[in-house]
Amino acid sequence: MGGSGTRLRGSVAEAAEMGCSRSLKSIGPKTTLVADDLEGAIRKLKAERDGEIEVAGPSLAHSLTELGLIDEYRIYLHPVVLGHGKRYFAGPRPPLRLMASDRIGEDVIRLVYVPA
């Protein structure tokens, strides 16, 4: 699960915001804290709502990947070189299949992958 304040947001008509954390004891208004049973919380969210669920943070993405709960990865490639930071795939990269790619603006490419 993610660190402090890792956010998960369902982008549906009535957006549900969840904060996934092992260290936080409370979270702001209109946001649900998921401290335990990440798998159950996400399965429930997917069953109750239609639409996309946006995930931010490599630790949370890794946990959801291991649980088999990610249907599609959208990776936005920006021409910027960073000297440090967390890898997007915290563990071994799962087998993926490229489904689409498109240019966004002048210098961003969106890559869409699904689990292979």
Per residue of the chain (116 residues), what is the pLDDT tens digit?
A: 444 445 555 444 455 678 888 888 888 888 888 888 889 988 988 888 888 888 878 888 888 889 999 999 998 888 887 777 777 777 778 899 999 999 999 999 999 999 99
Buried b or exposed e, range 63-86, using 16+ CB within 10 angstroms = bbbeeebbeebeeeeeeeeeeeee
pTM of the model: 0.70
β-bridge partners, 19: 7, 33
Domains of the chain, start order: 6-115 (3.40.430.10)
Cβ neighbours for 63, distance < 8 A, ≥ 6 positions apart = 1, 2, 38
Report the run of H or E that residue 48 belongs to, with start and end.
helix 38-48
Residues 112, 100: contact at Cβ < 8 Å?
Answer: yes
CA 112 and chain centroid, separation: 14
